């Protein structure tokens, strides 16, 4: 904590991004490619700030509710109804979000049409726009895995040391949006299959480490998880309703169904389970 406070005092200019850079350097907090883990650091610093343990510089951008401002994309997709089956859909593909324009579009789609709205994905992440020859169909995003989930950890066989050492090899499908005017049968499960086939390679290319397990949380009874079941994700049970990073053991959120999808046959060994 003293190291963090010194980094805050020394930050010039006094910006949260600069504090995160200094904290990563001071704590040796880097990914496998040697790059500072700035997003994870900023998430952690914000939690300490909100808990009253540190005082960060005032945020430069924000809308007062802790979610941050969502800059509008230069153009919204055409709301042309699209129906049929996925077999009739040509050119279905996942386009990685790789520039500022695509990032604004992804953020805007999620803020406007996803029931959870937009918040920055935690930690190392991948975002995709779902596209086809018929136009833009939706958005998909992966971020850091939940810190601790009883059903998942039992199923993997994780004890705490192995979980702490290998959690970075689990990715959370945090956002999945099919635009409301797109009514294509079996599209969602096909998109999940496309993601499972490429997310490992894309993540390794960006972060230097290949994930071996995907997870997601489906809010019930709002959704039934049909597309995940159809894409061969495995249902492990329900959460306790405590959120991704709960430390108080007090249920405060809706219960969610937990699904997982292994990306490697030997995923348990790769996650530190003998």
Looking at the DSSP bridge assignments, the partners of residue 30 are: 36
Write the pLDDT tens digit of every residue in 41-76. Answer: 988 899 899 999 999 999 876 544 445 557 788 889
Write the pLDDT tens digit of every residue in 147-197. Answer: 999 999 999 999 999 999 999 999 999 999 999 999 999 999 999 999 999
Question: pTM for the complete prediction?
Answer: 0.83
**Measuring CA to CA, how many Å separate 125 from each of 37, 142, 157, 168?**
11, 5, 25, 11
Structure tokens at 169: 């090899």
Q: Of 55, 58, 128, 52, give the one whose Cα is nearest residue 93.
A: 128
Write the pLDDT tens digit of every residue in 75-120. Answer: 899 999 999 999 999 999 999 999 999 999 999 999 999 999 998 8
Task: List, in order, residues 6 or more apart from 123 with CB less than 8 Å away.
Answer: 37, 39, 40, 43, 143, 144, 168
Tokens 């489906």 correspond to: 218
């Amino acid at each position: 904590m003293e190291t963090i406070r010194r980094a805050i005092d020394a930050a010039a200019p006094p910006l949260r991004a600069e504090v995160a850079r200094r904290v990563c350097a001071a704590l040796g907090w880097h990914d496998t490619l040697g790059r500072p883990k700035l997003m994870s650091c900023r998430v952690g610093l914000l939690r300490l700030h909100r808990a009253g343990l540190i005082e960060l510089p005032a945020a430069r951008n924000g809308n007062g509710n802790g979610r941050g401002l969502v800059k509008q994309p230069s153009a919204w997709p055409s709301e042309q109804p699209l129906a049929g089956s996925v077999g009739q859909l040509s050119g279905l593909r996942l386009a990685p979000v790789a520039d500022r324009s695509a990032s604004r579009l992804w953020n805007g789609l999620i803020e406007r049409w996803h029931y959870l709205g937009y918040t920055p994905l935690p930690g190392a992440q991948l975002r995709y726009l779902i596209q086809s020859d018929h136009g833009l169909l939706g958005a998909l995003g992966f971020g850091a895995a939940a810190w601790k989930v009883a059903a998942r950890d039992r199923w993997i066989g994780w004890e705490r040391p192995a979980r702490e050492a290998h959690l970075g090899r689990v990715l959370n499908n945090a956002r999945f949006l099919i635009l409301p005017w797109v009514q294509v049968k079996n599209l969602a499960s096909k998109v999940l299959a496309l993601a499972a086939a490429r997310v490992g390679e894309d993540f390794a290319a960006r972060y230097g480490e290949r994930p071996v397990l995907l997870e997601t949380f489906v809010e019930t009874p709002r959704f039934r998880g049909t597309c995940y079941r159809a894409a061969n994700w495995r249902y492990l049970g329900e959460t306790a309703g405590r959120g991704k990073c709960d430390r108080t053991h007090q249920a405060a959120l809706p219960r969610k169904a937990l699904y997982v999808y292994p990306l490697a046959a030997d995923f348990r060994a790769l996650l530190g389970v003998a």
